[in-house]
Structure 1
Amino acid sequence: MEIPNLFGFDFTQITWKEILDFVLVSFVYYRLILLVKGTRAVPVMYGLVLVVLLYYFSSELGLTTLNWLLQNFLGSIFLIIIILFQADIRKGLAAVGTGGLFRRDRGVHEKTLEEIVRALTAMAQMRVGALIVIEKTVPLGDVGERGIPIRGEVTKELLMTIFHPNTPLHDGAVIIQGDKIMAAGCVLPLTTDPKLASQYGTRHRAAIGISEETDAVVTVVSEERGSISVVIDGKLVTNLDEIRLRRVIRNAWAR
């Protein structure tokens, strides 16, 4: 069998435009999958696949009533998705609009991540509350505008100074962009998730809230318990020691 006619298809008839079209579509689908990976959209996608399969089988088996119900449901599915997943859609479109579909995250050097880990560990030992938001592909400029501009290098000492209980900025969030502290004392949106345990206060609710709307890596220190948490895509990882904290932040940044 000749290779050009493999599988009964004449590969010699493929043009460079068709190849380019296939590569671009594949790349876009790949990036879109990365955007929704780990979000609430994933189980919804699985559910939609099951509904479509059920619709197909109901049509083939002649289950008229079930087929009619599924047909009407699928006819309005796009509107339902938009209503249920406004935050995820907004986050995805923001990433695409700022080049998130075609570029990698802003550069944050290992030294910066290490300074953040050292600061969080020290503040946890001292039971000093803290809330740090590390920007990835979705810009946090509008959030930073709600606080006080800093634009300083990320260091353990500066972070501990900002969150010291006697400073006017300690109750807000710090926004880190690249290797700089963009702003401090920032007000974040609170999550409305009713399933969040009552033991978590305003800092944790704010951390989850901003991570539901952006792809930022958010870290929290509880002044009541002296524990460290990381929030990614609305998911809370708690009670981290220094080693686990470093690993979780690195893995989250590499996603």
Structure 2
Amino acid sequence: MPEEGLIQYLLGTLDVLVVAYLIYRILLVMRGTRAAPMLGGLALVVLAYFISKTAGLVTLHWILGNFLSSIILVVIVIFQEEIRRGLTKMGIQPVFRPSSKPNYDRTSEDLVLVAERLSSSRTGALIVIQREVGLDEFVEEAVEIDALLNRKLLVSLFQKDSPLHDGAVIINDGRIKAAGCVLPITFNPDLDPNLGTRHRAALGISERSDALAIVVSEETGAIALARDGKLSRNLDGASLKQILEKLIDAKDSVEESVEEEAL
């Protein structure tokens, strides 16, 4: 009998560890996709389901129960590309890998200097700064670079003799992740009809994610910034730096302080 109890205990522990590992791998896969923000909303729905059951809210419990019963099919249909890409990643990524500390140094200052230089030469550019929502689907379809943010390298990618100058560059954690990225274009009917493809692509990616997109006009050299589907135009270096420091550097400082407290 004691041996049977020990076996049951070991099997139960193994069961919990396997489930925890699967959840961990799923979170890693979803972290770089559009499906990541959905986890929070789904967790709230599940929580509301159990609360409604406990509180005796029959109608709400019935509605949420029917919704959750079909959520798997909904997720598969909406995120089929992300699921395919995620399963591929699970097959090629190592089980354990060392964690790396993101490079946050001078990100805003470097991006402002690059934008000003490209503006002065009227060199068209589209620079996307990834934030919480991953952009892996665009990185994988582009030319992966994965180099530390370097002003000279970033400027060279948008020169007309560069084969990648027509696409966007994606920046994440102080690194140039990819160049020549093809981004979705906004279909907002209220936009200025004179806006070019770069500006529409900047708005498109800002509608689909929380990314920031810096645009330099090839015709006028004007600098613009797209965020949350809105475009701030005719920015100077000081204005752009102020916005970036608020949205990027403040977030990075919080993350670094959390890491230090954890240590």
TM-score, normalised to structure 1, is 0.55
Q: Within 2, Cα distance between the matches of 1:38 and 1:240?
A: 29
Aligned to 2:76: 82
Could you tell me which of 110, 127, 130 is aligned with 2:126? 130
Matched AA of 1:131: I
Q: Within 2, Cα distance between the matches of 1:114 and 1:19?
A: 43
Structure 1 residues 145-197: Cα deviation after superposition (integer angstroms, max 9, x where no partner) = 5xxx87987521121122247866433123679998676333234467x6x98
1:42 CA displacement: 1.5
CA-based RMSD:
5.4
Q: What SS does structure 1 have at the residue aligned with 2:223? A: coil
Structure 1 residues 103-136: Cα deviation after superposition (integer angstroms, max 9, x where no partner) = 466x5873xx5475444111333446332577x8
Aligned to 1:221: 214
Asked whether 1:160 is paired with 2:155, we answer: yes
Q: Within 2, Cα distance between the matches of 1:68 and 1:153?
A: 52
1:67 CA displacement: 7.2
Asked whether 1:121 is paired with 2:118, we answer: no
Q: Within 1, Cα distance between the matches of 2:17 and 2:164?
A: 49
> Which blocks of at least 5 consecutive residues in structure 2 are unaligned?
233-239
Aligned to 2:44: 46
1:46 CA displacement: 1.2
Q: Is the 8 A contact 1:82 1:89 kept in 2?
A: yes
TM-score, normalised to structure 2, is 0.53
Q: Within 2, Cα distance between the matches of 1:97 and 1:109?
A: 25
Matched AA of 1:163: F
Structure 1 residues 220-246: Cα deviation after superposition (integer angstroms, max 9, x where no partner) = 3232663556x8xx899x855364434
Q: Within 2, Cα distance between the matches of 1:100 and 1:138?
A: 18
Q: Within 2, Cα distance between the matches of 1:180 and 1:46?
A: 34
Q: Within 1, Cα distance between the matches of 2:20 and 2:92?
A: 20
> Which blocks of at least 5 consecutive residues in structure 1 are unaligned?
1-10
Q: Is the 8 A contact 2:156 2:162 kept in 1?
A: yes
Could you tell me which of 176, 183, 197 is aligned with 1:188? 183
